[in-house]
Structure 1
Amino acid sequence: MRLIRARECRAMPWKNGGGTTTEIAVHPQGASLDAFDWRISMAHVGSDGPFSSFPGIDRTLAVLRGNGIRLAFSDGETITLDRQTEPFAFAADRAVAGQLVAGPIDDLNVMSRRGRWAHAMQRLTGPEPHVLEADAGLLVLVARTGGWTARVGAAIETLVPGDSAVLDDPARVELSANDPESEMFAITLRPMS
């Protein structure tokens, strides 16, 4: 289990220049916005506007804080995401604009290069224990609120808000939260070849 503490994450500008994002992890390490195989980041969205286009990339978005965002796709589909909705997956090369529901939001964003990697994201809440397996890829845990204990074999680590952990396969992690309101996101990343 490799830990990524919140203070180690770097902030960088959006591809379209409309804001900043905090990069949690990227593969290959240090890859640019045009060359990554997968990327996990958090962003603060303070105004309405178009999303950056990422050709050949699949994307999943979850709202972390705020009242939500309405996604309006160029083909007419619309969807509203908020703190209660499940993470939403879509093609990052599909034209879409975001409209804030009522004020700014923070979001969690996972992107993977289509045909090379596949990903999925789920929201976990405390306090019941969660058991997850990293098989045939990676498992990335992102602690959002509350305190979490992660046990892999005999190793035990504590994750506070903003901390993340990366587990290679094969690994089995047992998670427990110290608060019923604790929230964590579990992201699976699998190579396609």
Structure 2
Amino acid sequence: MIRLIDAAAFQAVPWKNGGGTATDIAVSLAADGEVAWRVGTAAIRRDGPFSDYDGVTRTFTIVEGPGVHLDFAGEGTRTLDRDQPTRFAGAPAPFCRLRDGQSATAFNLLTGDGLAAGDVAIHHGRGAAEPVAAAPVVVLLALEADWTLTADGETVVVPEGAAAQVDGAGTITVASAPGGRAAVASIRPG
């Protein structure tokens, strides 16, 4: 039910425009081989356009750095602080500007329209277990400190920098020492 994903297994791939790298943490394919959902991180090193992902919804959360400005054609600018999830269509893609010229890292949930949907929450360690919204799939990335993840009575420790995927659990709780941070994606069929 819980699969621990070691950070050593993460592979960073450079963006085509050279402005950063993308790292997949967990991916699920639909029956036709199309990506149903993808969870990962993106290291943003300079200003530039995001890639178009037509037919995909992105939930984007800055988890390192001071934040970014996302410029959307016809919509304007969204200024995002750290730990502030925002959702948008994958195409047309926004132009990203770094705040204060400082690089940033984002936690991304990409869901294929009609195939999957999901939400992202940032959890802060409180020294006690707290519930996670139930979903068919939950992916946790331990951003700061180790996290204890319990799903239907099974418990694992997710080391800082590592991740875990939970499938089909009815009850999930997470816990970390004060100061810990984790990004949690809750994913359900579309």
1:17 Cα offset (Å)? 4.8
* 1:50 aligns to 2:49 (yes or no): yes
The amino acid that maps onto 1:6 is A
1:157 Cα offset (Å)? 1.0
Unaligned runs of 5+ in 1: none
SS at match of 2:8: helix
CA deviation map 1:151-174 (0-9, x unaligned) = 234432111222111111233222
Which deviates the most, 40-49 or 123-132? 123-132
Query: Where does 1:178-193 land on structure 2 (aligned, <5 Å)?
Result: 178=177, 180-192=178-190
Aligned mates of 1:158, 1:95 — CA distance in 2: 36
Q: Equivalent residue for 2:4?
A: 3
Query: Where does 1:1-193 land on structure 2 (aligned, <5 Å)?
Result: 1-14=2-15, 16-28=17-29, 35-84=34-83, 86-102=84-100, 103-127=102-126, 128-135=128-135, 137-178=136-177, 180-192=178-190
* Residues 190, 15 of structure 1: alpha-carbon distance in 2 compared, 3 angstrom cutoff: farther
Aligned mates of 1:168, 1:134 — CA distance in 2: 10
The alignment of Structure 1 onto Structure 2 pairs a total of residues equal to 186
Q: Is the 8 A contact 1:134 1:167 kept in 2?
A: no
SS at match of 1:162: coil
Equivalent pairs: percent with the same residue?
Answer: 31
1:144 Cα offset (Å)? 0.8
Unaligned runs of 5+ in 2: none
CA deviation map 1:59-86 (0-9, x unaligned) = 01111111110001011421111215x2
Aligned mates of 2:89, 2:82 — CA distance in 1: 21
The amino acid that maps onto 2:129 is P
TM-score normalised to structure 2 length: 0.90
Q: Is the 8 A contact 2:151 2:166 kept in 1?
A: no
TM-score normalised to structure 1 length: 0.88
Which deviates the most, 49-58 or 91-100? 91-100
Aligned mates of 1:54, 1:16 — CA distance in 2: 15
CA RMSD of aligned residues (A): 2.0
SS at match of 1:181: coil
